């Protein structure tokens, strides 16, 4: 079984790496216990699919953040798009809330089944 950075080919930026690693282990530990102690492998079988949904969600957010915050000195189009995204993130309440929720809490995805 893989967990943490070993499983996430691109460690996501935005304070996600360690948190995703811990979330993986939080699922993996009871799955291993059930398999070893009770001979029930169902949680282990479901482990990767359950984690990947959360991981890809975090990768998407990290990609969005990285593209929004890293300047492209020689690309006026990309710079214009970045500024539009930043302005939206700080002026449109729903956009601000979405950014904040993605930054600090992806647990609802995990609770929804991975």
Ligand X SMILES: Cc1cc2nc3c(=O)[nH]c(=O)nc-3n(C[C@H](O)[C@H](O)[C@H](O)COP(=O)(O)OP(=O)(O)OC[C@H]3O[C@@H](n4cnc5c(N)ncnc54)[C@H](O)[C@@H]3O)c2cc1C
For the bound state, the minimum distance from the C-beta of residue 62 to ligand X, rounded and expressed in Å, comes to 11
Residue 15 near ligand X by CB under 6 A: yes
Say whether residue 54 binds ligand X (CB under 6 A): no
Task: For residue 10, give every residue at least 6 positions away whose Cβ sits within 8 Å of its Cβ, in sequence order, or none.
Answer: 59, 62
Give the whole-angstrom CA distance, residue 48 versus residue 21: 13
CB of 19 to ligand X, least distance (A): 4
Contact at 8 Å (CB) between 106 and 57?
yes
Instruction: Scan residues 62-81 and list those touching ligand X (CB under 6 A).
Output: none
With contacts defined by CB under 6 A, how many residues of the chain interact with ligand X? 10
Map tokens 């893989």 to a residue: 2
Among 21, 35, 52, 89, binds ligand X (CB under 6 A): 21
The three-class DSSP label of residue 70 is: coil
Note whether 16 binds ligand X by CB under 6 A: yes
Q: Which stretch binds ligand X (CB under 6 A): 10-18, 30-38, 63-71, 92-100?
A: 10-18
- The C-alpha atoms of residue 83 and residue 80 are separated, in whole angstroms, by 5
- The number of angstroms, rounded, from the C-alpha of 34 to the middle of its chain's C-alpha atoms is 26
Figure out which of the listed residues 1, 2, 10, 18 binds ligand X, where binding follows CB under 6 A.
18
């Amino acid at each position: 079984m893989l967990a943490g950075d070993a499983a996430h080919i691109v460690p996501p930026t935005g304070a996600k790496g360690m948190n995703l690693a811990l979330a993986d282990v939080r699922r993996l530990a009871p799955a291993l216990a059930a398999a070893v102690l009770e001979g029930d492998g169902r949680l282990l079988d479901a482990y990767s699919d359950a984690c990947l949904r959360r991981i890809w969600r975090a990768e998407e957010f990290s990609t969005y953040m990285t593209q929004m915050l890293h300047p492209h000195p020689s690309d006026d189009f990309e710079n214009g798009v970045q500024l539009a995204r930043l302005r939206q993130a700080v002026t449109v309440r729903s956009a601000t809330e979405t950014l904040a929720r993605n930054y600090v809490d992806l647990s609802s995805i995990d609770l929804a089944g991975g």
